Every structure is written in structure tokens, then in C-alpha cells.
Structure 1
């Protein structure tokens, strides 16, 4: 439990300095030298289990000569870290179980795959000829891009969409009976 500096390799003071340090007064977590340390006397104690679990350092209390005491701050950090680690492991386990159960349920839903196969074997557009579809697309394009004229004011637009925008903005107050509050828009 004591450290004799004169026995240390590379001691710059040689044998003239003989300092003994009681290792039992040091915190195992931060190495602070404190008198008010929480001592762990048995390997079965909870703090010992937490320390081994978090650090991966196997300890043999009272057998390796190293201190196994914690200051208040390190004890709190050890407990909080251990609880957080445990929470993360529990969450991971729950998520893994949930994922495995959800993939098992998807595997049970095999009839949905049959429905999809039936749909793929009978496409809805099989009754239309490709030429008919091409003609319909071409007609729609031609109708859309054909110049159109506003019957109210004679405005000529480049396509039906532009005419729709024109009527919406310029003739917004006009109805079918020509009772517009602004007769100048109609050219009257």
C-alpha cells in the first residue's frame, strides 16, 4: 500500500530523498489524495462491479496492492455512467427485439406478395394499343400549345394555360352575363 520514491527507476533525487506515500488515500478514478474516500472492501460490492463493467480492468481488492477507493465526485460519475450504459444496452436490446419481431411479421404476410404478382401479370393498360396512347399524347400536346384567343378582349395566348392565367387575372370580375364592374376590360 505504500510507494517508496527511492526505489523508483529514474529518481532524480537518488537515495537522499525517502518519501513514502500511502496509496490507500488516493481515489482510483482521479488519483486525488483525499481523506474522505468511499472504500470498497469486497469484490462483490456494487461499485466494484460498475468499475469493472465500465473500465474493463479486472481488480483484486487487497491483493494487488492498488487502492480501490473513490472520492464523492468519482463515485457519482461511476454510478451515472454505469446507469447510462445500462440504459443504452436495454434500449438496444428493445430495438433489436422490436426489429426482429417486425421482420417476422413481414415474413408472415406472404399473401400480399401473391396479390402483387397477380397485378403484375394483368396490367391495367393492356387493352390500349401503343399507337393509340402515342396519338392521345400528341393531341394533348397540340391542344395545349395551340394559340388561343380570349373571347372577351381578343388577347391571343401561346397556349391554353396562358389564356387561363389571363382570364383569371384580367377578367376576374366578369361573369357570363357581362356585368363587370369595370366595363373597360371588355372593350365596351
Structure 2
């Protein structure tokens, strides 16, 4: 075979090989970039879930102003936070459900938390709210008895919030490590 034909045949082959290599590297780069974006999105969702959990923890705290209103007749500075039905948790719970929708165990915990919050509202928050709104001055013994009855529910709320927070923190750490690996 003449040398000119041999060189002419190798040049297109080398060019095609380099082109295939370049396309392969681009595909690998796009895949890694997509993995990095997904990792960042998941980490952001964990951060948002942790922030919503902190908000729920704050909203589920015993209403001190209401307790004082019922115990000693102290005026309430502002209307109860949340919707007209006195449930300030519905919007944060809906956000939390959306953020943990991809994790069945977390969804189950959110449902358990929702039931515990409703029970807390029935046992403690609503009776205080009704008595305060009616202008009843029932004394601290009444408020303490309400709290004793509702205390196991409050403990359950704290446990559910802590479990959700622990799981989300663990997922956040995993996702941050995945993001580092993708980088």
C-alpha cells in the first residue's frame, strides 16, 4: 500500500476517534452536572424542612398569654396566630409534607405529628382559647390541670419533631457528601 494512501486513511480515523472521545466526555460532564444539581436541590429541601420543623416547634409551644388570660385574667396582646379556627400549623405542615414527600418514613412521622398537634389543640389550646375569649378567669389550677392532661401529647409532639429533625439532618449530611463527591 502506498504511503500516501495509508496516511490519508489514518487521519479521518484519528479524527473520528477524537470526536467520539469528546462526545463521551461531554456526556459524562452533563451527567455529573445533573447529579450535582440534584444533590443541591435535595440538600436545599432538607434545609427547608429543618426550618419548617423549627417553625412548628415554635408554633406548638404552650400559649403562655392564653394561659395567663385564663389563670389571672391578663389581657391577650394579640389574636392567636394562624387561621380563624386557631390552627396555626396547617400551612407549615402542608409545606413539610411537600418537602418530605419522597421519604415514606418521614411522611408517616408528619402524619403522626399532625395527629398529635390536633390532639394538643383539643386538649389544651382550644379550652384556653374559649375560656379567654369568654372572659372566664378560672385560676392557675385549671390551667395546670389542662396541661397535665395534655402533657403526654406535648411529649409526643416533641419526640416527633426531634425524630423528623434527626432524620432530615442525617439526609442533609448525606446529600452534602453526595454534592462534594459530584463536584
The higher radius of gyration belongs to 1
> What range is the shorter-chain TM-score in?
under 0.3
What's the TM-score, normalizing by structure 1? Answer: 0.24
More strand by share: 1
* Larger helix percent: 2
TM-score by length of 2: 0.25
